[in-house]
């Protein structure tokens, strides 16, 4: 990859969906280019990336290996990976490219995205060929343990993360669905393959019975580290967040989904009375 210009976070040639390791790779390269990791600085370790970005060790190792291949870092044995500093040729080429606002200090790795409109009362977007899916077992965060009414907050839950891009490969939505281990294990919900049809129908099929009420809330906040990296946002940016707790017909919570959109480019359609 030496002598080439890296694509912005989330983008791939031909507009195909990005892999998670590519998104993490581009985030690290952007942070090196912006000076957060100057030449000689120690990059996050595999363990740190795994914990901070909620990714597997395989994904973390692949992302770091790609950063090395791109010429932005070098491995130093047990010490880890060390930044090689910004690439001069990248900086020169970026300076020749027109920007939307030449006076704005826009860190590398961030992207300009088109405006989209999504519905606030249902899951926006489906799992298509532009959706990257990652499924794993993780300890339940506090808010998830409460939402799912878990008896043992230390028990692992099934987490299904979906990063959806537009036709140009720009990330526009990040969804994370947390489900009780016993409920999701052995069903399509725990497999990293796109689900055909609606998420609600998939939950009903997995549970084998009709669903009950769903509680939805919409709020705004700054993105987490994972959301910032996945969506290509500044840590100080604003995101729109919809949380939805779905219950079965007996009133037991079976799914807690957090959907995140970049606030500056997303318009929520609240419907009409």
Question: Which domains are delineated in the chain?
Answer: 20-83 (1.10.10.10), 112-270 (3.40.1410.10)
Residue 70 · residue 29 · CB < 8 Å: yes
Residue 264's pLDDT is what? 86
pLDDT at 18 over 80: no
Residue 127's pLDDT is what? 78
Using 50, 70 and 90 to split pLDDT, how confident is the model at 111?
low
pLDDT at 90 over 90: no
Q: 253 burial class (0-12, 13-18, 19+ CB within 10 angstroms)?
A: buried
- pTM value? 0.60
- Please tell me the chain's helix, strand, coil percentages from 3-state DSSP, rounded to the nearest 5: 30, 25, 40
Using 50, 70 and 90 to split pLDDT, how confident is the model at 102?
very low
Residue 107's pLDDT is what? 42
Residue 219's pLDDT is what? 92
Q: Is 47 helix (H, G, I), strand (E, B) or coil?
A: helix
Q: What are phi and psi of 258, to 5 degrees?
A: -115, 120
Query: What H or E segment, with its residue span, contains residue 176?
Result: strand 171-180
Residue 10's pLDDT is what? 39
% of the chain surpassing 70 pLDDT: 77
Give the span between the Cα atoms of 209 and 211, in whole angstroms. Answer: 7
Chain segment 80-89, per-residue pLDDT in tens: 888 888 864 3
Average pLDDT score, the chain: 78
């Amino acid at each position: 990859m030496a002598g080439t210009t890296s694509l912005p976070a989330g983008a791939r040639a031909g507009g195909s969906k990005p892999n998670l390791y590519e998104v993490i790779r581009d985030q690290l390269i952007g942070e090196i280019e912006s000076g957060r990791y100057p030449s000689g600085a120690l990059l996050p370790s595999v363990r740190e990336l795994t914990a901070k970005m909620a990714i597997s060790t395989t994904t973390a190792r692949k992302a770091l290996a790609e950063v090395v291949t791109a010429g932005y870092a070098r491995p130093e044995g047990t010490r880890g990976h060390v930044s090689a500093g910004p690439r001069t040729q990248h900086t020169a080429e970026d300076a020749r490219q027109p920007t939307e606002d030449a006076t704005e200090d826009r860190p590398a790795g961030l992207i300009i995205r088109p405006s989209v409109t999504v519905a606030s009362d249902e899951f926006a977007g489906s799992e298509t060929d532009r959706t990257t899916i990652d499924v794993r077992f993780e300890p339940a965060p506090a808010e998830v343990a409460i939402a799912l009414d878990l008896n043992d907050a230390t028990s692992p839950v099934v987490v299904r993360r979906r990063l959806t891009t537009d036709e140009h490969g720009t990330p526009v939505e990040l969804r994370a669905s947390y489900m009780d281990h016993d409920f999701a294990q052995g069903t399509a919900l725990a497999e990293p393959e796109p689900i055909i049809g609606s998420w609600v129908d998939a939950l009903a099929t997995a549970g084998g019975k009709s669903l009950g009420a769903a509680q939805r809330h919409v709020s705004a906040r700054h993105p987490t580290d994972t959301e910032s990296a996945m969506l290509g946002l500044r840590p100080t940016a604003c995101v729109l967040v919809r949380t939805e707790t779905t219950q079965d017909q007996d009133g037991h919570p079976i799914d807690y989904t957090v959907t995140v959109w970049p606030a500056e480019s997303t318009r929520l359609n609240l419907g009409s009375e």
